Chain A
């Protein structure tokens, strides 16, 4: 079974631009979550999607958005990029996204904002 796939692996953008990151969950998994990892803050929850609906959202500004498609693939978008958005963005999938389910993470997209 293929794991969680994230594309692109690396991305360089400049301030003010927008970016779209893609995530393909493990086959059969319907829940997709996004996390931001920075050296100072560790992993912070962005949002979670299940059956094309956002069920939960972390404490991030509205510049961060996402969506999920009918095949469970997900994208996240960051608009008006700021230097502080430079981070590793991790996608994780689970079967139903329910309590006590393990999350399976992709390798992440490393975003650098110049």
Chain B
């Protein structure tokens, strides 16, 4: 049973426009959520996170929104740049004392000039 779902395998956006990547989860025990970005032949790198006590966290061009009642989070990238083209993974963890992450399958974002 997949607890973290990214239903869009890919997304294409033009440079300068907004990219919105979505993520749904089923485990109501998740209380910390992260987005990682992955380029080919590299490991995932941390992008932004949000605690379940917040509904929004912003860092430069990146904003993550959390809707706990809908068990949904989204990552907004504004404005999108060609260098943002990568696979984005949504991840979640339970406050268990361990930083064990449950990942979605990823969304490949392509930003065209």
Contacts and interface: CB of A to CB of B under 8 A. Distances in A.
A90 B43 contact: yes
Interface residues of B, number: 26
Contact of B97 (A58, A94, A99): A99
Q: How large is the interface on A (under 10, 10 to 19, 20 to 34, 35 or more residues)?
A: 20 to 34
B41 A103 contact: no
Contacts of B98: 48, 55-56, 97-99
B105 A97 contact: no
A100 B89 contact: no
A5 B103 CA distance: 22
B106 A100 contact: no
B43 A106 contact: yes
Contacts of B59: none
B45 interface: yes
A99 B42 CA distance: 25
A4 B44 CA distance: 11
Interface in B62-99: 89, 91, 93, 95-99
Interface of A: 4, 31, 33, 35, 40-45, 48, 55-56, 58, 90, 92, 94, 97-108
5 contacts: A41-B105, A42-B103, A99-B95, A99-B98, A105-B43
